[in-house]
Amino acid sequence: PVSVFENPKIASINVANRIAELIKSKQANNAPAVLGLATGVTPIAVYAELVRLHKEEGLSFKNVITFNLDEYYPMAPTAAQSYVTFMNENLFDHIDIDKKNVHIPDGTLALEDIPAFCLDYEKKIGDLGGLDIQILGIGRTGHIGFNEPGSAPNSGTRLVTLDDLTRRDAARDFGGKSFVPTKAITMGIGTIFKAREIILMAWSRKKASIIKKAVEGEISGEVPATFLQLSDHVEFILDAPAASDLT
Ligand code: F6R
C-alpha cells in the first residue's frame, strides 16, 4: 500500500510512532525489538522524532537491536561520511541503546574477510528471529540498501559496486565524485524481504519518477525496488511531491 502525507515531517512522525509502538510492545513481553535501519537524508526526521520520544517521553531503547542496511567500502568508522558517524550523530548518541546491540557493516575489513562477515551478519539477524521492521529510502537508480540495478531478488548481504548515479548523488558529501568509494557492503534484497514489516519512505519531486517505477513499473532487477511489489508487508510512505507521478 501507498500512503501519501502532507509533508515529510508528519510522515516521519507517523513512522517514528510505529517504531516506538513496536519497541514498547516488545518491552511489555521482555523481548528485543530488532530494527533494520537506513541512512541518507530520508530517515533523518524519523530519527529526530525517536530522539525526542526518548528525551521528552521516556521511550527507552534498552531492548532495541539494530542492523543497518549498508556501509561504504572501504570506510573508516570515524570518517565524517561513514554510516557509523551518521547513525551516531542522528540517533545512537542521543538515546539509551546499548552500543553492543548496534550492527553496521564493517567498512574496514580485508577483502578476503568480507564473505564471512556477510554470512555472520545474516546469521545474527536470523538468530534473533529476523528483523521486526526495516526502514528504507530509495536511490534514484531504484536501489534499496545499496542493491543497485542487476541485483537478484534472493541476494544476501554482500560487497557490491555502486552505480555511477549513486556516486554522483553522494558527491556532495565527499567533496567530489572521485572521493566516493566505488563499493559498499549491503544487506541483500532477500535480507530486506525477510523483515516482518518494510517501510519505504521517499520525499520530494526528485524521487517522483523512481517512485512511479518502483510502485507501478514492471518488476525487474533493473529497478531493484520493484521487487517490493511482491511483498505483502511493504508500505510506501510518501510526501505529495514524491507521489506526484503515480497514476
Ligand atoms: C542508505 C541506503 C540508501 C538510501 C538511498 C536514498 O542506508 O541504503 O538506499 O536510502 O540512497 O538516499 P537519500 O535518503 O539520501 O535520498
pTM assigned to the model = 0.98
Strands 102-103 and 2-5, bridge-based pairing: unpaired
Q: What is the mean pLDDT of residues 157-181?
A: 98
Q: Which of 49, 112, 148, 218 is catalytic?
A: 148
Q: If you classify domain 2-239 with CATH, what class do you get?
A: alpha beta
Max intra-chain CA distance, the chain: 49
What is the DSSP secondary-structure string of 143-159? -BTTB-TT--TT--SEE
At residue 192, the 3 state secondary structure works out as helix
List, for residues 144-159, the tens digit of each pLDDT value.
Answer: 999 999 999 999 999 9
pLDDT of residue 22: 98
Stretch 89-115: mean pLDDT: 98
Q: Could you tell me the pLDDT band of residue 2, with boundaries at 50, 70 and 90?
A: very high
Residue with cell 548518541: 93
pLDDT of residue 102: 98
What number does the ligand 1 atom closest to the CA of 37 have? 7
- pLDDT tens column, 57-67: 999 999 999 99
Give the phi and the psi of residue 223 in degrees, each rounded to 5: -130, 85
- ipTM summary value: 0.99
139 lines ligand 1 (CB under 6 A): yes
Q: State whether the beta carbon of 70 lies less than 6 angstroms from ligand 1.
A: yes
Mean pLDDT of the chain: 98
The domain limits of the chain are 2-239
Phi first, then psi, for residue 135 (nearest 5°) are -95, 135
| Candidate of 68, 143, 211 to mutate for ligand 1, largest count of ligand atoms within 8 Å of Cβ | 143
| Cell numbers at 33, concatenated | 525489538
Cβ atoms within 10 Å, residue 145: 28
How much is the average pLDDT of 49-62?
A: 98
Peptide bond into 74 cis (omega under 30): yes
pLDDT tens, residue by residue, 212-238: 999 999 999 999 999 999 999 999 999
pLDDT (0 to 100) of residue 151: 98
Please report how many Cα atoms fall inside a 13 Å half-sphere around the Cα of residue 157, on the Cβ side: 26
Q: Is the CB of 114 under 6 A from ligand 1?
A: no
